[in-house]
Amino acid sequence: MSLLTRSLKALGLPLLFALLWWLPAGPAQAAVSCTATMTNLAFGTVELVNGGTPTPATATLNYTCTNDGNATENARVCFNIGDGNEGLGNFNPRVMETTAGTQLRFQLYQATGGTIWGSNGNAQVPNPFVATMSIPRRTTAGGLGRVTGSATMRGELLPLQGTVPPGSYQDNFVGDHTSITLSRSTSGMPATCDTIQPGRFAFLVTATVAKSCLVTADPLNFGTVNGLPGQADRDQTSTINVTCTTPTPYTVALTPSNGATTGAGTMTPTGGVPGNADTVPYRLYRNAARTNVWGSVTGTNTVAGTGNGAAQALTLYGRVLGASANVRPDSYRDVVTVSVTY
């Protein structure tokens, strides 16, 4: 009874199994049988911190149905898929797991459409892949009538899983996590698939979540500065947003266009005043008191953190020294490179 209980949980076929258990022996009939194989579905290495949806992956079901009778048989064949060894009863969505038990959500679909590939009797995912066919009678030489076919299964990772830790994930659809059921008739196409076939079509779903980081930065705008000498320092702030996988350590380095490693840059004219060669020096800092420079020497003047899958806001403190205000009126700018090492 333990095997029966597991089959009910994995595929959601309680009515089907109960009926089969009590079916009385009947007269010998022509044997129509089907076998199938499924290729593994591999998402490969994926990055999740950008909030998008990785490229779908596909697998192929190949099946063969035979007829050893003396009349053509019409068959409806259902290829049922359950939750997988690591699925833990999750069908919508299904889940992969690492050996540590962290989960990655995904779903399996039939071909290019939106129909989830499920199983007969499963309230969450009730639609197996169904193939209908007319299988010719056996040949005069004794060979079996035969029909072969294939179907595409599409797998998609769910979006917004940036908090999922890096690692290798899988869900193994082995044993009673797949099944083939069919019904046959010589007069018309059956409306259901009731008879369980002995074959399975085991397959593996895998994905590797990579360590990754995404960084965005707001402009650091000092605004309009009085050009007269002796002005006070002009201070402004900006925000750098870093999103890294959990729990990925990272460091953020800033490098002005002059290549300085100490956060000391120079803004140059944008061309509004012909012949203007003046420059406006500025400094970048890690703290509001502007005592700790933000540069690009790892372990000395960079900013470190640990990713949690969400955007982490880092405040950048900038300063234009008042003594440098004695320049020609113009618009000045520089480009700072933000580098994230992880």
**Across all residues in the chain, what is the average pLDDT?**
89
Q: What is the pLDDT of residue 53?
A: 75
Q: What is the pLDDT of residue 259?
A: 97
Q: What is the pLDDT of residue 8?
A: 29
Interval 136-145 mean pLDDT: 90
Q: What is the pLDDT of residue 236?
A: 97
- The more confidently predicted of residues 263 and 326 is 263
CA 300 to chain centre: 36
* 49-53, 151-155, 257-261, 278-282, range with the lowest pLDDT: 49-53
Q: What is the pLDDT of residue 228?
A: 65
Cβ neighbors of 98 (< 8 A, separation 6 or more) are 165, 167, 168, 169
Q: Tokens representing 334?
A: 């520089």
Beta bridge partners of 5: none
The structure's pTM equals 0.78
Q: Tokens representing 63?
A: 């099946």
Q: What is the pLDDT of residue 325?
A: 66
Task: Tally the residues of the chain.
Answer: 342
DSSP-derived secondary structure letter, 145: E
CA distances 101 to 86, 98, 104, Å, are: 9, 5, 10
Q: Tokens 């540069």 belong to which residue?
A: 295
pLDDT tens figures, 33-88: 999 999 999 999 999 988 767 899 999 999 999 999 999 999 999 999 999 999 99
pLDDT tens figures, 95-108: 999 999 999 999 99
Q: What is the pLDDT of residue 30?
A: 58
Are the C-beta atoms of 147 and 76 separated by less than 8 Å? Answer: no
Q: Is the pLDDT of residue 339 over 80?
A: yes
Confidence bin at 10 (pLDDT 50/70/90): very low
> What is the share, in percent, of the chain residues with pLDDT greater than 90?
80
- Of 64, 118, 129, give the one whose Cα is nearest residue 91: 118
Q: What is the pLDDT of residue 23?
A: 31
Q: What is the pLDDT of residue 24?
A: 35
Are the C-beta atoms of 249 and 341 separated by less than 8 Å? Answer: no
Interval 138-165 mean pLDDT: 93
Q: Is the pLDDT of residue 282 over 80?
A: yes
Q: Is the pLDDT of residue 140 over 90?
A: no
